[in-house]
Amino acid sequence: MAALGTPSGTIEILKKYNFNFQKKYGQNFLIDTHILEKIIEVSGITGEDCVLEIGPGIGTMTQYLARKAKHVIAVEIDQALIPILEDTLSGHTNVTVINEDILKLDMKQMIEEKNGGKPIKVTANLPYYITTPIIMELLESHVPVESITVMVQKEVADRMQTGPGSKDYGALSLAVQYYTKPEVMIQVPPTCFMPKPKVGSTVIRLTRYSMPPVKVREEKHMFALIRASFNQRRKMLVNSLANAPGLGLAKEEVEKALEIMGLPVTIRGEKLSLEDFAGLSDLLGNGGKNHISF
């Protein structure tokens, strides 16, 4: 059998199993060995690591990961790929394939079972239709993860790295930058995939901080404020927050908090930095209610 990660090896295995690509699952398989080697290199995987691969496809990257890591957990939603994975990974005893939707899996429990609760590394060529929910889940649910090295749509990598004032700035940028240090590692053209995606791709590495770069009393409250601010990003912040169900904030209260922080009351959420959101949350959260008196 020709090596996976090449056009001929991929076609051979797809033909053998009469596999049809499922567009709804974002299936674009890597067919470039040079890119695969680089992804493994920048993931920094060692023989001590337990690696989670989200969406192994036909097992191309899984084979590379299995050669480097102590253990690989590969979670694939498409049942049609399971017999293929059994075939392509038959030479590796350190791989566990789970046929499940990654967004339905209890990752904390899985890491507890497979790695004694110790932090794992995530390496994946992600299905692009669910990149944001996967990343948000990995970050916000405090799953023990040391680093996340993932192929994403180029525009999404831009969103992860950008700051206030940019049109790409939003809840994803703030979550990524609060929990991790993002670094763009590789730019990947559509020709490296089968079938070719319509968009350019980027491999980005997110290294989890042991201590976030800003201090906030109630992390969950800060992210509730951030979500509400960007749900109505064209509105003034005071209106977005005062209208947001669940926050229970009065317009005057938000205005007062902005005044205390020395920010204009007409400001939009997209102009606030991570530090600003942390400060605002400390003033408006339950722990800080007494800071505002009328």
Binding site for ligand SAM (CB under 6 A): 25-30, 54-57, 60-61, 75-78, 81, 101-103, 125, 127, 130
Q: In which residue are the tokens 């722990």 written?
A: 287
DSSP H or E segment with residue 281: helix 274-284
Single out the residue of 99, 88, 90 nearest to residue 55, CA to CA: 99
Q: Which lies closer to ligand SAM via its Cβ, residue 61 or residue 216?
A: 61
d(CA 269, CA 277): 9
CB atoms within 10 A of CB 124: 25
Q: Which lies closer to ligand SAM via its Cβ, residue 28 or residue 281?
A: 28
β-pairing verdict for 193-194 and 29-30:
antiparallel
Least distance between ligand SAM and beta carbon 219 (Å): 26
Least distance between ligand SAM and beta carbon 22 (Å): 6
- DSSP helix/strand/coil, 208: strand
DSSP H or E segment with residue 251: helix 251-261
d(CA 161, CA 163): 7
Single out the residue of 110, 108, 179, 174 nearest to residue 147, CA to CA: 179
Least distance between ligand SAM and beta carbon 137 (Å): 11
Q: Which lies closer to ligand SAM via its Cβ, residue 130 or residue 254?
A: 130
Q: In which residue are the tokens 């590969």 written?
A: 74
Least distance between ligand SAM and beta carbon 18 (Å): 16
Least distance between ligand SAM and beta carbon 84 (Å): 10
CB atoms within 10 A of CB 176: 22
Q: Which lies closer to ligand SAM via its Cβ, residue 193 or residue 230?
A: 193
d(CA 102, CA 110): 11
Q: Which lies closer to ligand SAM via its Cβ, residue 64 or residue 223?
A: 64
Least distance between ligand SAM and beta carbon 72 (Å): 12
Q: Which lies closer to ligand SAM via its Cβ, residue 14 or residue 261?
A: 14
**Are the C-beta atoms of residues 54 and 110 closer than 8 Å to each other?**
no
Least distance between ligand SAM and beta carbon 100 (Å): 7
Residue 127 Ramachandran class (φ > 0 left, ψ -120 to 50 alpha, else beta)? beta
Least distance between ligand SAM and beta carbon 31 (Å): 8
Phi and psi of 123, rounded to 5°? Answer: -135, 125
Q: Which lies closer to ligand SAM via its Cβ, residue 75 or residue 254?
A: 75
Question: Which residue lies nearest ligand SAM, judged by its C-beta?
Answer: 55
Q: Which lies closer to ligand SAM via its Cβ, residue 61 or residue 174?
A: 61
**Are the C-beta atoms of residues 120 and 45 closer than 8 Å to each other?**
no
**Are the C-beta atoms of residues 8 and 29 closer than 8 Å to each other?**
no
